């Protein structure tokens, strides 16, 4: 797991996002345990409190559950819910792209061409 200290995104959110991506992609499966809070904190050289905050965020989202004495494990995921979460992330990213394009003076047609080019590059 790679953390960016100067990204402007809090460390706990970066950790949660990395696990969220692993859960949604199926890399972490139902019943898999996340690394121990202390172990991950030591590995990443961060505070146990920061790690706990990331795990609690995932728990609030319903992605993991805490089991007393055992740690946090991955909950069963509804494929439709996962698709909706991905759709929200795509929409948010596209909204950010539109805002940036407007600031840069890039029109809709040029933005669509950029998206098509990026999609074509990704597919090849």
User: Domain limits of the chain?
Assistant: 11-74, 79-123
| Mean pLDDT confidence for 64-82 | 87
pLDDT at 79 exceeding the cut of 80: no
Provide φ and ψ at 115, rounded to 5°: -60, -45
pLDDT at 80 exceeding the cut of 80: no
Q: With bands split at pLDDT 50, 70 and 90, how would you rate the model's confidence at 40? A: very high
pLDDT at 82 exceeding the cut of 90: no
- Residue-averaged pLDDT of the chain: 91
Q: What is the pLDDT of residue 87?
A: 87
User: pLDDT (tens digit, 9 = 90+) per residue, 46-63?
Assistant: 999 999 999 999 999 889
Q: What is the pLDDT of residue 71?
A: 94
In sequence order, what DSSP letters do the residues of the chain get, joined into one string?
----TTSSS-HHHHHHHHHHHHHHHTSS-TTPBPPPHHHHHHHHT--HHHHHHHHHHHHHTTSEEEETTTEEEEPP--HHHHHHHHHHHHHHHHHHHHHHHHHHT--HHHHHHHHHHHHHHHH-
Q: Indicate the CATH number for domain 11-74.
A: 1.10.10.10
| Mean pLDDT confidence for 90-118 | 94
Q: What is the pLDDT of residue 55?
A: 97
The CA-atom distances, in angstroms, between 59 and each of 64, 74, 114 are: 5, 9, 37
Q: What is the pLDDT of residue 122?
A: 83
User: pLDDT (tens digit, 9 = 90+) per residue, 97-110?
Assistant: 999 999 999 999 99
Buried b (16+ CB within 10 A) or exposed e, 30-41: eeeebbebeebb
């Amino acid at each position: 797991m790679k953390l960016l200290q100067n990204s402007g995104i809090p460390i706990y959110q970066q950790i949660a996002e990395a696990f969220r991506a692993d859960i949604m992609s199926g890399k972490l499966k139902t019943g898999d345990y996340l690394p121990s809070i202390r172990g991950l904190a030591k590995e990443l050289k961060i505070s146990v409190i920061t790690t706990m905050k990331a795990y609690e965020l995932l728990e609030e989202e319903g992605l993991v559950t805490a089991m007393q004495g055992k740690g946090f494990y991955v909950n069963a995921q509804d494929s439709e819910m996962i698709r909706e979460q991905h759709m929200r992330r795509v929409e948010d990213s596209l909204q950010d792209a539109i805002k940036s394009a407007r600031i840069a003076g890039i029109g809709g047609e040029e933005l669509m061409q950029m998206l098509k080019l990026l999609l074509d590059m990704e597919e090849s």
